[in-house]
Amino acid sequence: HGGRPSSERETADALLQVLSERSPGAGDHVDGVADLARATAERMGLDPAEAREVALAAKLRDVGTAAVPDEIL
């Protein structure tokens, strides 16, 4: 996660773990979206650290769904 402070990295990792446990089969989709987001950021001229931030944001985009019951999703 680039130059993030340890606590931010740990928080992001914990949230990603929750998402992974909530939707075990979604990992490939999440990684694919993150890869596309990073590639788009790079094509837009963002530096590598910023492109990593965009990729992380793409991975975390569905964090709110962890609290939503399956029948609603």
**Dist. CA 50–CA 36, nearest whole Å:** 14
Exposed, middle or buried, 26 (CB in 10 Å: 0-12/13-18/19+)? middle
Residue-wise pLDDT for 5-15, tens only, equals 788 889 989 98
| Single-letter amino acid code for the residue at 7 | S
Q: Name which residue leads in pLDDT, 19 or 52.
A: 52
| Residue 2 clears pLDDT 70, i.e. is over it | no
Q: Per the confidence metrics, is the pTM higher than 0.85?
A: no
pLDDT digits (tens, 9 = 90+) for 47-60: 999 999 999 999 99
For the chain, strand residue ranges (E) read none
* DSSP 8-class letter at 64: G
